[in-house]
Amino acid sequence: MKNEESRWLEVLKIALPLCLSYIPIGLACGILLNVAGFNVILTGLVSILVFSGGAQFLLASMLTANAPVHTILIMLFFLELRYALLGSSISQYLRNTSKKFLYIFAVSLNDENYAVNYLKFATDKNWTPKDALMVEHYSLLFWACANIIGSLIGNLLSVDLAIVDYALTALFLYMIVMQVVNKLTIVVSFVAAIFAIISMVLLKSTMGLVISTLLASFVGFALEDYLVKRDKKRGFLLKKIKPKASRRVVSKSGDN
């Protein structure tokens, strides 16, 4: 029993840097959802059911822009499609778990808790799927609370929408930087930017985002395939970039 007790504390210590970083973003997200017309209960509900910073920010900003429901859902689908990659890459560590466990695990899978769990699975032999699920639930708890508090504060404050809306852009910029592993990623990002401008100006709608995402990711896929086939793995574009500060948040929790 004592062992059980110390385990949840140990896992909490590992999850804490991540949980704390959720507080400011969760607050901002709650404020934005409040501006978009979500009440406190809905904000709490969306934080638990969708549990994705990007998706919730997007919901808020598209609702305030009066985007139609099908456009919002298509955008969300593309935004959440990246979880397919995260899910499939962590699935190797979740063999021999039940279907029910996978279901519960998938509900609260998220970019950041994935990063913590993937690192722990890869480096710590004693890391179990149960621990991983605990990390997910800790981060979910902090995220939902921060959102609810943000929603309550949002009632009291008057906020400049154009400025708070920028939180979403800053979050995406952060995620772009985290995605950069080689110069090809930077090339793909610029290609995506050009496609995005052209397709949005031509289509005059957010469908341009969907089209440019499909085109740019295909260009990346094709370029990499071309370079690998030409055996340019160590060439200029595919050479790995080492960040100056290695994933500090994750590795700090990995030391425990």
Partner 1 sequence: MMTAKTMEHLILVILSMLVAFGPRFIPLRIFSTRDIPKWFNEWMKYVPVSLFTALVVKDVFINTGEGYVFTGIHNMAKIIASLIVIAVAYRSRSMGLSVILGLVAVTILAMFLPV
Per-residue contact flags (x/-) with partner 1 for residues 221 to 250, judged by CB under 8 A:
x--xx-----------------xxxxxxx-
Contact 104, 130 (CB under 8 A): no
Question: Could you tell me which stretch among 6-14, 133-141, 171-179, 231-239 binds partner 1 (CB under 8 A)?
Answer: 171-179
Q: Is 189 in the site for partner 1 (CB under 8 A)?
A: yes
208-224: b (≥16 Cβ within 10 Å) or e: bbbbbbebbeeebeebb
Q: How far is CA 181 from CA 39, 47, 110, 151, 247, in A?
A: 40, 30, 20, 36, 13
The per-type count for the chain, helices as H runs and strands as E runs, is 13, 0
The whole-angstrom separation of Cα 136 and Cα 52 is 12
Nearer CB in complex with partner 1: 12/65: 65
In the structure encoding, which two tokens stand for residue 186, read together? 């930077």
Question: Could you tell me which stretch among 5-13, 133-141, 170-178, 232-240 binds partner 1 (CB under 8 A)?
Answer: 170-178
Applying CB under 8 A, among 2, 100, 125, 204 the residue interacting with partner 1 is 204
Q: Is 133 in the site for partner 1 (CB under 8 A)?
A: no
Applying CB under 8 A, among 16, 196, 227, 238 the residue interacting with partner 1 is 196
In the structure encoding, which two tokens stand for residue 65, read together? 């822009």
Applying CB under 8 A, among 220, 237, 238, 254 the residue interacting with partner 1 is 220
DSSP character at residue 65: T
Question: Could you tell me which stretch among 3-11, 45-53, 135-143, 232-240 binds partner 1 (CB under 8 A)?
Answer: 45-53
Question: Could you tell me which stretch among 4-12, 116-124, 136-144, 159-167 binds partner 1 (CB under 8 A)?
Answer: 159-167
Task: Please count the CA atoms within 13 angstroms of the CA of 14 that sit on its side-chain side.
Answer: 29
Per-residue contact flags (x/-) with partner 1 for residues 82 to 121, judged by CB under 8 A:
xxxxxxxxxxx-xx-x-x--xx-xxx-x--x---------
